[in-house]
Structure 1
Amino acid sequence: MQPSSVAVEDFISPFINLDSDFYAATNYNLMSCGIRKSMSQLTINTMCLLKDEQTFLANGHHMNDTWLIERECLKDRNFRKPSEAFINSNSTVKFAFIRDPFDRFISLYLDKCIRENLCYNCGDDMRCVVRNIHSGLQKYQNHREWRPKGSYIDYHAAPLSWNCNFDRDLSKWHLLMIGSDLEERRSSLLLLENILKRQGVSDELIQKIHNESLSGETDHSTHKSPLRIKAEQQVREDPVVRDLLHKIYLFDYIVFPFKKDRLDAKYQTSFWKIPE
C-alpha cells in the first residue's frame, strides 16, 4: 500500500479534550494528571502523600495502593479539582507519566478485557476489542458523546493527547516516559525525583516514593503476566489489530517523543501531508 492510499479520516484525531483527573499539592506548587493505564495509581499515591504526608502515613498507605484502597485525599475537592488560577500559574509545575501507546493498549487489554472481562462482550477476542474502541472513539470525536455501552473502555483507551488538557498547554508539562520493565520504571522515577527535589520535597519523602514504587507491583499490573507474551505477539503480527491500532494511536506517536519503530514503515513518515 502506498502512503497516498491511506484515508486520513479513518484515523483518530489528536487533542480532543476529555474530562481529566488532576491532582494538586499546592504546598509544593505541584500538579499532576492521571492518565489511565499510564501509572495512574502511582500518580495518585504520590500526590496524596505530598498533599498530606501526616494523614497518608497515619493511614498506612503505600505507593502501590490501588483503587480498592480508600484514601482521604480523593475526598478533597481542592485536591482533585484545583482552581484555574493554580492550574494557569507560571509557578505551578506540572508532570504526567506517558506510555508507549501500543504497550498501553496491551496493558488495557490484559487488565480490563482478560482480567475483568469488561470489553464489549468480546472476551479475549482482540480484533473485536480494537474494532469497538476505534468505532467508539470515532463516534466521540465526531459527536462529542460517549456510547451508553462500552464507554468505560473507550475512556481508558482514548489517546494520550486527549488527556490533561494537552490541547491547551502541552509545552508546559514535564512528560515522564515509562515502560513495562524495571529499568524503564527506574528511569522515569529518577525524572520524577528530580522534579520533586526542585519543588522542595524532602529527601526522606523522595526516598519513600522511590523505594515503594520499585519494591512491589499494583494488583492490576500486567507487565509480568504470562498472557502478555501472547498479546504482544498478536499486536506485532495480526494485520487487523495493527491496522486499527495505527488508526487509533498514530497521532500519539507524532505528538509525543515516542520511538516510531513500533509503527509500520508506511506510518513512520509524514504520509498525511500534501506535497507542495
Structure 2
Amino acid sequence: MNTKSMSTVMEEIMCLFYNPKIYLKKNISITEKMYDYMTCSNPPAVLNNRKKLRNFINYPNNKKYYYYFIVRDPIDRFLSGFLDKCVRERMKSKNKATQCHGCGYDIECFVNEIYRRAKIFHDTGFLFPKTMEDYHFMPQSWKCHLNEEKDKYTIFYYTNKTKLYNDLDIYYKKIGISKYLRDKIQHDLKNNYTEHKTFDSPLRGMFENYLRGDKDLMKKLVNLYYTDYIMFNFSFPKLD
C-alpha cells in the first residue's frame, strides 16, 4: 500500500473483496474506518512484505492475482501527509505532541529531518527504528519493491479523483469484480470522505504557499522525491 494515496480506503476495499457478505452486513462505508480500526485486521490480499509478493508473482497456482498501485504527485502527497500527521493529529491529541520528529508545525524542520533520514536509508539500506513518518513520507518509488517489480503493477494516478474512480471501476470490471460491489465502491468514494482528508483544510493553503515560496525547501523535496518524478512521469515543479 502507498500511504497518503488512498491506502486506508484500499485496505477497506480488500476487506470488502475478501468477504463481501460479512462486510455488507455491517452497513458501513469503505471510507468510514481509520488506521487501527480496519474492518478486517489483515486482509490477505494486502501483501505487506517482499517474500509474500515474490511468492505470489513467481509461483503460479490455480489462482490469478492482480497488482495495482495508486501514486500521487509528490508535493501534494507530502502536504497531505504533513497536514494529517503533523497538524491535525497533533491538534487532536496531546499524546502526539512529539510526532513528526518533534518539529511541531515547523515544516522546514520536518523537511530537513525527513531528508536526513531518507539519505541515511538510501546510502546504507538501513534505518532503525523505522517510524510512522518514514512510512508516510519516504518516496513512493521505494515502496512495494517497485524498482524490481514495477512491470507487474497497474499504476493509477490520484491527480484527478473523478478519473481515478472511473479508472478503478473499469479495472475492477476487467478483473471480474461483481457489479454490486463496484457500485458500492463508487457510491462510497463519491459520497463520503475519510476522516483524515486535508484538501479542504484552510491550513492546507497556508502551508502550501509557505512551502512553494521557499525555493530551498522545494529543491530539497524535489531531490527527495526525484525517483518518483522519473518513475511515474510526474511534472517537476517550477523552481525559478
Is 1:102–2:75 an aligned residue pair? yes
Q: For 1:153, which of 133, 138, 149 is the aligned residue?
A: 133
Q: CA offset at residue 83 of structure 1? A: 6.2
Corresponding residue SS for 2:225: helix
Q: Distance in 2 between matches of 1:142 and 1:83?
A: 25
Q: TM-score, normalised by structure 2?
A: 0.86
Corresponding residue SS for 2:157: strand
Corresponding residue SS for 1:146: coil
Amino acid at match of 1:131: N
Residue 124 of structure 1 is matched in structure 2 by 105
CA RMSD of aligned residues (A): 1.9
Q: Distance in 1 between matches of 2:179 and 2:45?
A: 23
Q: Distance in 2 between matches of 1:71 and 1:209?
A: 15
Q: How does 1:228-243 map to 2 (within 5 A)?
A: 228-243=204-219
Structure 2 gaps, min length 5: 91-98
Q: How does 1:5-24 map to 2 (within 5 A)?
A: none
Number of positions where the alignment pairs a residue of Structure 1 with one of Structure 2: 224
Q: How does 1:23-172 map to 2 (within 5 A)?
A: 34-64=1-31, 65-72=33-40, 74-75=41-42, 78-81=44-47, 82=52, 84-88=54-58, 91-117=64-90, 118-148=99-129, 151-172=131-152
Q: CA offset at residue 146 of structure 1? A: 2.1
Q: For 2:170, which of 177, 181, 194 is the aligned residue?
A: 194
* Contact 2:13/2:185 (8 A) holds in 1: yes
Aligned CA distance change for structure 1 residues 83 and 232 (closer, same or farther; 3 Å): closer
* Contact 1:113/1:119 (8 A) holds in 2: yes
Residue 96 of structure 2 is matched in structure 1 by none
* Contact 2:156/2:164 (8 A) holds in 1: yes
* Contact 1:246/1:263 (8 A) holds in 2: no
* Contact 1:133/1:157 (8 A) holds in 2: yes
Q: 1:99-157 deviations in whole A, cap 9, x for unaligned?
A: 00000000111011112231111111110000000000111122222244x73212211
Question: Identity across aligned pairs (percent)?
Answer: 29
Corresponding residue SS for 2:149: helix
Q: TM-score, normalised by structure 1?
A: 0.75
